[in-house]
Chain A
């Protein structure tokens, strides 16, 4: 079957592409190029004079211990959120796929968190884990576990990881469930008859057949932890205590806030952009090749 329509000449194709191109240019290329341009500039404290400084902003950035800390924070945060949200979602999806009774209710309940705005999700987690008010924090206290995300950096990191994971599970769950349901039932039945016990069946048949979904979700989740978790971090910890939960994207915001260090902030966003582009490219090159069967 022919999938591509073909046009004579260039005018019609260009016209058809125009809206998409316009949107991409206005909302992506233009701000991105502005950021790149900004990252080469240095403004004085009052914003009155601007100087072109080449890579000085970048140099400053990579010698700033706060920035290197943010790198580390991001690595911890994103690894935990991706691994946790993907594996928990996969577990839930496998359970839902078993067609247990009440599966519909179960699915609906699992999907809800995705509809909750990040700020509200953040507030929810603050309440649950607030050292003086939160039910769960008090429960932990009763178990003899000291818990104070306002003072303890690790507690704060745990809290934002949990909140960000919780928020992303529904999304991953939906895709995993769709992925599981698109595996032909007879292939699984063939494996049952071929004597593969559930655990082995999962790792040798189901998981490999799910790999296109997993790969897609991995890309989406990395973009999510790098950029979209800003709202959660901002409401739950505000980057604190003392920068312990400040990730790269959060630092872009806190450094650029109030216009105090626009050049540095722009340089950070360029670094972030390059990292995400780089990681996605690597994923496509090396992983996608292996998931295509």
Chain B
């Protein structure tokens, strides 16, 4: 077991693409860190630098207090699960899992014991003699996991391991990965662009954008206090509504004619300054006309999602979405007065996108 520390890590690909622009964070021993961000933000590049599959252009990566920049992948004591599983097609499931141990010169009976144990944990014992092409996607995924755990590495690295599975299997494997990681206590870094995976798996969430870290924190912190407009709209589904507003006084923003209280707002902002106000669809409550802080929402159509409903429409002339549990509102297309808890009003600087909060 080991902690992983990244210090000002940079990656410039030959040809000049700056994929990672100075990233620093650390993952405590046994921690589960998820890197999330839009396509092309440098998540895989960062992970591959930790694995040793890409050279590190600048900065330092250390695993268990040992700087690994110059150390071969094989000697970093890591295991990686790839998006396409990368199983050896000409080996049986057993040999796929045994290969790494054989390369280390582990005694035969020890290999046998560890492969069988991993197969038992992952419930793939009946498949040990099969070739990868005779397995379903979910089974291949398990074998890839098995190959990672038999080696008992210090760190697990996952690069979008679930994105080739169907939705149902994805949920199931997600839970299993989390359980397995808890049980084994191995420090893990997990790359995904799926924010549900990111929220549910991580105990440390790193949101990346354009080769930089936007925010690091507990998933609940990132959700409740997004550090920037980017994070606010990236984490949460459907995404947060963003509306233009102005500062009306300490802790008060104006959205058109309506006045909203924002408890988290910094007090040093000049009245009249332009800001962006973020409201999550699931934080919207129903109010009545004329009530303080109520906003007029013109509903255009309603989507039924089963447990919840999505109301699409316009607020102050801008597209707006609200989410509510089914049957709590029997709203029809038309005007609805809404309000938001002052603790859940997010305010961002329109120029930098940074949160103007405490």
* B337 proximal to A (CB < 8 A): no
Set of chain B residues within 8 Å of A195, measured between Cβ atoms: 74, 100, 103-104
Interface positions of B from 128 to 170, Cβ below 8 Å from A: 131, 133, 147, 151
A195 to B79, CA, bound (A): 10
Number of interface residues of B (CB under 8 A): 24
B271 within 8 A of A: no
Partner of B74, one of A192, A204, A205, A209: A192
Name 13 interchain pairs, CB-CB below 8 A, sorted by A.
A190-B86, A190-B87, A190-B88, A191-B88, A193-B52, A194-B99, A194-B147, A195-B103, A205-B88, A208-B90, A209-B90, A293-B89, A293-B90
Cβ contact within 8 Å between B103 and A194 = yes
A49: B residues at CB distance < 8 A? none
Chain A interface size, as a band, is 10 to 19
A65: Cβ under 8 A from any B Cβ:
no
In the complex, the chain B residue whose C-beta lies closest to that of A185 is B86
Binary contact readout A205-242 vs B (1 if CB under 8 angstroms, 0 otherwise): 10011000000000000000000000000000000000
Contact with B along A169-195 (1 / 0, CB 8 A): 000000000000000101101111111
B100 in complex: contacting residue of A187, A189, A194, CB < 8 Å: A194
Q: How far is the CB of A60 from chain B (nearest CB, A)?
A: 49
Which of A189, A192, A194, A293 lies at the interface centre, i.e. has the most chain B CB atoms within 10 A of its CB? Answer: A194
Q: How far is the CA of A293 from the CA of B87 in the complex (A)?
A: 13
Chain A interface (Cβ < 8 Å from any Cβ of B):
184, 186-187, 189-197, 200, 204-205, 208-209, 293
Q: With the chains together, A209 CA to B103 CA distance in Å? A: 18
* CB neighbours of B88 from chain A (8 A): 187, 190-191, 205
Number of A-B contacts (CB under 8 A): 61
Instruction: Give Cα A54 to B173, complex, Å.
Output: 74
Distance between Cα atoms of A144 and B102 in the complex (Å): 49
Task: Name the CB-closest residue of B to A208.
Answer: B90
Chain B residues contacting A200 (CB-CB under 8 Å) are 103
**Residue interface bits B69-84, CB-to-A below 8 A is 1, else 0:** 0000110001110111
Give complex CA distance A204, B100 in Å. Answer: 12
Q: A184-B84, A186-B82 are known contacts. Are A192 and B90 too (CB-CB below 8 A)?
A: no
B103 and A193 form a contact (CB under 8 A): no
Shortest Cβ distance from residue B44 to the other chain A in the assembled complex, whole angstroms: 11
Residues of B within 8 A of A205 (CB): 88
Q: Provide the bound-state CA to CA distance between A195 and B53, in Å.
A: 12
Which has the most chain B C-beta neighbours within 10 Å: A189, A190, A191, A192?
Answer: A190
Q: What are the residues of chain A within 8 A of B90 when measuring CB–CB?
A: 208-209, 293
Residue numbers in B under 8 Å from A208 (CB-CB): 90
The residues of A that contact B51 with a CB separation of less than 8 Å are 189, 193
Sample of 20 more A-B contacts, CB < 8 Å, known A193-B52, A195-B74, A200-B103: A186-B86, A187-B86, A189-B51, A189-B80, A190-B147, A191-B99, A192-B53, A192-B74, A193-B51, A193-B80, A193-B100, A194-B99, A194-B103, A196-B99, A196-B103, A204-B99, A209-B89, A293-B89, A293-B131, A293-B133
Q: Give B74 Cβ to nearest chain A Cβ, in Å.
A: 4
Q: How far is the CA of A204 from the CA of B88 in the complex (A)?
A: 10
Residues B40-85 near A (CB distance < 8 A): 51-53, 73-74, 78-80, 82-84
Q: In the complex the two chains form, what is the Cα distance from A140 to B84 in whole Å?
A: 54
Contact B103 A190 (CB under 8 A): no
Task: List 10 tightest A-B contacts by C-beta distance, closest first.
Answer: A194-B100, A186-B86, A195-B74, A195-B103, A293-B90, A190-B86, A186-B82, A208-B90, A187-B86, A193-B73
